Structure 1
Amino acid sequence: MDAGKQRDHADAFLIEENIVSGKIEIVESSQEYSKGDQALIDVFDSDTYSAVATDDAKLVRLLRIRGIPFILPALLIHRLWKRGKIRRRTATDTLEKLRAFISEDEYSTVKILMERKKMKVRTMRIPEDIEKGIEYVAKVEKLEKAQSLRKLARIGFESYIAKAYQDGKLTLREACELLSLSPSEVIDLFMEKG
């Protein structure tokens, strides 16, 4: 925090304000840390915490190496809004307040997700061989035919996006937008797909 204040980082002043007001508690450590990132990694306890909220690229790389779950701060706002915990206006106002502390990519990605309208639905003629596959999956999975089609279409689309990302044709941001998932969810999906 002190180093951040010397470099005039706005979030360092906000952290200090939250310490003074009691919103953040300082815990003594038996070890000396020159970097806050290392302290965070060492004290993270998955039984106590679900994830680390950060958009710091270096910290994210370290968290991935250690297998520590993380989420981008703006995505917390988006998730709260999507789950009906906060109103759209509260979500957009909070996102604007957070903007100075997060990357422009993170801000614009979440802004796009929040502005997205309902999906348009289109119909098309399905080839007979694919129709049989849809019916087979519906029978095996005990699904309605429409649910089976959506499931297969989603699996195929996810596989296509994973391959396009692997081939360097898509950025992570584009993949998130296309799949309507958070970066951590997209990364998990890509790891599942190999």
Structure 2
Amino acid sequence: MGARNAAGGAGCWGCAGRRVLQCRGSGPEFFLFHGTRSEPSQSVTSRSGLVLFSLVTSVTLSDAGTYYCRCQEPPNPRSPPSNTLEIVVTDPDLDPPQLSLEQLQQPLPRGSNVSVVCEGPPLNGTFRLYRGGPEGVVGQQQVAGGGSVSFSLGPLHPRDEGAYVCTYSPERGGVSAPSPELLILVEGEGRGATPKIPTWPGCEYWKGPQ
């Protein structure tokens, strides 16, 4: 989950196993975009149908944000953006919060409503709940002096299964490393199914094994 770089500075959540983004498509022109910038941060020409973009070597705050790729076969226009990859740079001075489930017995009944509690230090700021990684924000709440936030989930469906984590962001800035994962299981046919990853015409990326 959260990891610090060799220099002991900022950590990077979402970087483990993802320091290289693999982009595939008909090409032969491939482009990597970061955030809302209109110009690509990297470009590669290849007729292999697969290119590798190096994302993060030494973690800095500028590495945070959303990444996606597009490809092009001139004279045709560039493909639509691929599905996105989110990287969160964490603050090593912020201890990770703890995430707990009020109802301990699992799997949880399909259609039920439950609450998960994220506990961190008292602060003014924002708590966020994620499912499956930094791309999967499920909810967020602002607090004023509070250190515990409850997130409601439900009515539950098997597609809500997965590993959940939470983070907090003080008003002064920065993001904590994520909490330890909380695995939520839901009764019902299709339990354990993984939501489909959207595909895009001509260009896509995949994360590979984590």
TM-score range, shorter chain: under 0.3
The structure with more helix, counted as a fraction of residues = 1
The TM-score normalised by the length of structure 2 is 0.21
Which of the pair has the greater relative contact order for Cα pairs under 8 Å at 6+ separation?
A: 2
The structure with more strand, counted as a fraction of residues = 2
